[in-house]
Amino acid sequence: MGGRLCDAPPAGRVAAHRVPTHTRHRTSRGLQGVPGRWRRGFQHLQLRRCALPFHRFASDDGGLTWQDVGMVPTKITHLLLDFFGTIVDYSPSRTAQDYSATYGRLQRLGTRLAYREFLTLVDDVFARFDARSAEDLSEFSMREPSEMIVATALGRPASTVEVDAFVETYLGDWNTAVCYADGMSDLLRDLAGRYRLAVVSNTHHSALVPAHLRAMGVADLFDAVVLSVDVGHRKPHPAMFRAALERLDVGAESVLFVGDSYQADYAGPREQGIAALLIDPGKSAPVPDSDRLQSLFDLRDTDLRPVIEAS
């Protein structure tokens, strides 16, 4: 299971900033500004070299240091990274991709639904589970809505084998919209040379994120992969951040979180005492410009020396 090559937008064109309606409670998204060759689905925004303000971060030996007012400076040793929309781009839609393979499997099992009726069923079932999860930030697995979808489509209870096959085929179709930016693997290797890395991601399927990390050739760079479906709650629930800190055996003061969802990846970690930066090229979220990134690639291009000299 891996992402596909993304095409670069025509030179000089800035692609539209998409606001997803996925279950990850996002208010902004994107992994933009990637130089060189692209993989399908990334928007094009120009990167800038940015300097983080001295009251939040400084660098003495290539690392990040927290220097907020009234706090003892603590070196940032760990980066917690969101996955979808941060490390990889993807389509937040559950039905916009070509789901012919999934629908074909249901047809062979005897469904009488038309293709559009099948897509509507998928949207409706997931919406029902999303509404339940929104109440307490509990997470559900792919099997739960899949069992309901298959049973409804066939008009009878679904067997374990049928549900497992549906999950595999559906995720295969959904996964065609996941893509990697050229240079992302190199960026992660660079970051892993300076910090310990962990992925903290909302997902309904335990195998999905690890499979992508292996496909990118970077699985060995991460000390932990913390997934909502395993924790039982989704970001911004505190359990997700506590699980990450426990897995890494590190205090919140030594960690920086980077992601593209305001609630899940910025407000959530900050409420747990974790510093955070938000990928928000469209400037749609209520965060200081000093906490805003164009893409994860800004961490590579950040030049902190002028800030230290100015301070």
3-state helix/strand/coil string of the chain: CCCEECCCCCCCCCCCCCCCCCCCCCCCCCCCCCCCCCCCCCCCCCCCCCCCCCCCEECCCCCEEECCCCCCCEEECEEEECCECCCEECCCCCCCCCCHHHHHHHHHHCCCCCHHHHHHHHHHHHHHHHHHHHHHCECCCCHHHHHHHHHHHHCCCCCHHHHHHHHHHHHHHHHHHCEECCCHHHHHHHHHCCCEEEEEECCCCCCHHHHHHHHHCCHHHEEEEEEHHHHCECCCCHHHHHHHHHHHCCCHHHEEEEECCHHHHHHHHHHCCCEEEEECCCCCCCCCHHHEECCCCHHHHCCCHHHHHHC
Q: What is the pTM of this model?
A: 0.77
Judge whether residue 42 has pLDDT over 50: no
Tens of pLDDT along 266-283?
999 999 999 999 999 999
* pLDDT given at position 234: 98
Per-residue pLDDT tens for 196-225? 999 999 999 999 999 999 999 999 999 999
Checking if the pLDDT of 309 tops 60, the result is no
pLDDT averaged over every residue in the chain: 81
Question: Does residue 27 have a pLDDT over 70?
Answer: no
pLDDT at residue 170 is higher than 90: yes
Question: Does position 295 have pLDDT exceeding 70, yes or no?
Answer: yes
**Residue 16 pLDDT > 50, yes or no?**
no
